[in-house]
Structure 1
Amino acid sequence: MTQIIRALDEIALNYDVLFCDLWGCLHNGVEAYPAAVAALQGFRARGGRVVLMTNAPRPRKYVAEQLDGMGVPRDAWDMIVTSGDAAQDAMFAGAVGRRVWAISQPKDEGFFTDIPEEWRDAPPIQRVELDKAEGIVCCGLFDDLTEVPDDYRARLMLARERGLKLLCANPDVVVDLGEKRLYCAGALAELYEDLGGTSLYFGKPHPPIYDLARRRLGLDDRARILVIGDGIATDISGAVGEGLDALFVTGGLAFDQFGPDVENPEPARLQEWLALRAQDPTYSIGRLR
């Protein structure tokens, strides 16, 4: 049974490293949560290390710039690892071919143009129309403010008929931008699988992003890691798959499921909701603080 805590400090001494989600935990896509920032700063001040682990479909430097713009101080984290980092590595390795139909926005441009040093000598990735593509790279909807996954059904059916694989740079299905809920690349990847296509995933809850984080931070099997996140199917499921403890932030994506006080989830509602999803995170908290 999950243990509801009021603050990270209650359990912080049990861990050396945090793998902390961003959207819904540290910020809402518009502004940072001051209490969450302070919690991460406090953890680092006591000698812990913080990896910001996000399913953002962009290389980490763009996420750092976004956090700077929200006023998140650099002393709140040690490293950023993104789904974009792991998926980009697979793309340049040729996981879905070298001529790809890219479903992306201008903000995702760096995913294609910022070539990692180890891939500088590889054949280039060319973005082409669907009828000329060897595979699909999906960073998100073309216009996530107005479109829904079903708008892509006909095109994805054509891709399935051609046997194209879809590389998903962000396994998240939805995210909240302020008060508005938007669809992410994961929603298109799920639809493609429902249509009989093959989708490849590299962010949470799939192993590549965790392997990348451990490698970059130089962690061994003795490191005591706590995963923090609001996504039950990504953050919490990923922690279980990696054999790691998890802190479920109930005030994120599922904020309206656990009673009227977002900061204080009702235990009975929380336990019922988790049981229906066959999940039992080590800890739960209303908002990260």
Structure 2
Amino acid sequence: MNAIISASELAGDLAGGDPPVLLDVRWQLTLAKAAPFDGRAAYAKGHLPGAVFVDLDRELAGPPGAGGRHPLPDTGEFGAAMRRAGVSAGRPVVVYDGGLGWAAARAWWLLRWAGHPDVRVLDGGLDAWTGELETTVPAPAEGDFEPRPGATELLDADGAAALAGSGLLLDARAGERYRGETEPIDPAAGHIPGAVSAPTTENTGPDGRFLPAPELAARFRALGADGSRKVGVYCGSGVSAAHEVLALEIAGVPAALYAGSWSQWSADPSRPVAVGPDPV
């Protein structure tokens, strides 16, 4: 099953007799002192026909705390939110955001992890869409989706630490954050010892769309994902790392996600921190 869908393919599916459920997951990381991005307001100004807005902070994550800035949501609450949005196990789902792809990938990963068999991300997001937008808020029929977590692999802090030594742990944040040169939001600067820098921004081209699968495969192979080792990914809070897991999926490389990511790791003073350009 392809993990992404082009705007032209989606337009064709929406025109068919059994269109997919559309989820609008527009969201942006808010740094200290910055005004928070209002995804719902952006949605109200115009969205893909039939799309339902999903709030990443409230419906795709639990409250910030010991699990990090975006811990996994309560399974029951997540399932209820998806059913309200019209998600059913037997109907395809397409998720999109404003174009960066991080939030859409978080929704994709959660639904896949929770057992939905057919979820795709709109490649390039809203920016790639050339069709009409609408402002009408749909009222979808209640879906029947019941989460069954565990369909994809999830790492905790100990699992991430172990994988950094025995396999390949990729850090999807910007290089300067990995190196410890700056840390705009989390408690400490640096990276998990043994992790390899692999910024999410290098998964896409200038248009925000994913690089072709052979190019992604070559990129990850050069980073050590050659099929001989288990692969895991983390980022700041488990959002952009989902985008990296999606890129790895396109490249044909299965990968686990450390959902707590650096926001959880760096908040624990007992966890070691490495700085500089090298993994250790």
Which of the two has greater strand per residue? 1
TM-score, normalised with respect to structure 2: 0.35
- Structure with greater Cα Rg: 1
Which of the two has greater helix per residue? 1
TM-score, normalised with respect to structure 1: 0.34
